[in-house]
Structure 1
Amino acid sequence: MPHRDSLSREFLPYDFSSSSVEPSESLAYRYNNSDYEKLKREHSRLRDEHAYLQGRMCEVYRELKEIKGKLNELRQDYIKLHSHNKYINHKNEVLRAEINNLKSQISSQDDADVKSSESESNDNDNRPGKKRKVARRQIDQLDDDSETDEENARTEMKPQFSPSYKQINDWLAALHKHRRARLLYVERDVIDKDNRRLHKNNRLSEKKSRKVKSAISLFKRNDDRVKDYDKTEVLNILKDTRYHSPEDSEMDKKQPDGKRKIIGYNLSWRSDEV
């Protein structure tokens, strides 16, 4: 295989201007003038084509050289990334071990707190003339002869909640969305209107429950204002928001006459007085 330098020298374009390779004049005596001119033109064309091809070969060689340099750079980057990945994995293992250690310490501390609280409750129970104020959880015993380990039972009944990454991500996204909307309301100077809307919507369930209680009390007293109405239908209307909704929303369109309209989908409950 030829050396790289020799290969590059082979690919260099050949300068025919300094070359003495020309069609021999003695050929003119062997061929007539027309054939000689044709051979001369063909020779010139082949020489130009050869020079063009050699130039293209030099360009291809330079491109191959650049590609090889880029491959070497990519190989170096891969080696660096591989070393960084190994370092990060080592750090992750160290952090995981520290987290497990902290979890074990926290669990042991919780057990110690439970024991101390139990000892304090026992001391308080042993005092004369003092009633017991500690409420313990009742554990069902499957067998009367079996004894339940209270410490293990208390440890097992501790509320444990470890949110997943998706839950935390959803919580943070919802919080960011809420704060962003509130900031936009502040910039548009409509934050007071939104606060009133939120306050009114939050009080909607309380208003509905008060209306239902008031209607029930009126029906119990046989009030004249509700004697012409059916109790079941009125309570269903007050409990169901499909009949009318006093919710104040930004999407509510104002009526051209400036009046609020209550739309009843079930017209059978209406009387002549309404």
Structure 2
Amino acid sequence: MRLVITGKNGQLGSALRMLLDQEGLAEHYGVTHVDYLGREDLDLTDKKQVLDHPIFSQMDSDTVLLNAAAFTAVDHAETDPAAALAGNEDIPANLAAVCATTGAFLIHVSTDYVFPAGSPGHRTSPWQAHDQIGPSSLYGESKARGERAVRASGARAAIARTAWVYSGDTLPEHKDFVSTMAAKARAGQPAIVVDDQVGSPTYAIDLAHGLLMLAHQPQPGTVHIVGSGQASWYELARAVYDALGANPDELIKPVPSHAYSQLAIRPQYSVLGTDTWRAAGHPDLPHWTHGLKRALAGDSQVHLEGK
């Protein structure tokens, strides 16, 4: 299988490169050749550039195009919706168009933000891939439009939703919630963290592993690829402080969402269920607490079945 990865310098793109650079892993995933593309290589929002680029135009039915490029600034989307739509609707639409032309299989990464934000306690069961979406933020709307563009393209494609991605000390150049909490914990600094938003914390290395499993056995449709278990941001922060020897009881203050000012509405309950992922024959990713330990240790190893 030839693999083409966009967004090579982002958190997910970096995690994918880290795995594929490890001895024997590319072979394990059935990857015989891989091309990486970043912003410096071309403008993915420009359809003509995408259709004319030699890497894309040379794709065929044995190619998997994994789109890790996206606009991820959730609050910025509220004030610059055009940028959010360019990154989250135009890019997947353009990539889907070239896949429809060449026969390549597209894996497009989406998010829990496509589901309604709701209110505390309004939902207690995980969102499954078949559940109706209804984003409550401009960021979520831009991602939902990207999903619709992929489905309408006629390309062979899978939409892989994920959530609450962190990499901690494994990819220190990428700042995320875990790395922010870790820096505070190591400095003995207090933190104020919301305790009424619950989701699926996902270690970037485990997510990359899941996406490469999907690339190895591509199946059209929508799947959720997230760490097992669920947690609130407060519970996740406490786990970081505990792991690093800082006292969360003394240093972390829980607050409700309305006490923490943010432009974009955050989902109150966005735990993603993995029914379609398991039905496709894939094992669930490790529990988020297992991923957290590895993230804080800078451990990029993955568990490979049968090894």
Q: TM-score range by the shorter chain?
A: under 0.3
Larger Rg: 1
TM-score computed with the length of structure 1 as normaliser: 0.19
Structure with the larger strand share: 2
Write 1 or 2 for the structure with the bigger share of helix: 1
Larger relative contact order (C-alpha < 8 A, sep ≥ 6)? 2
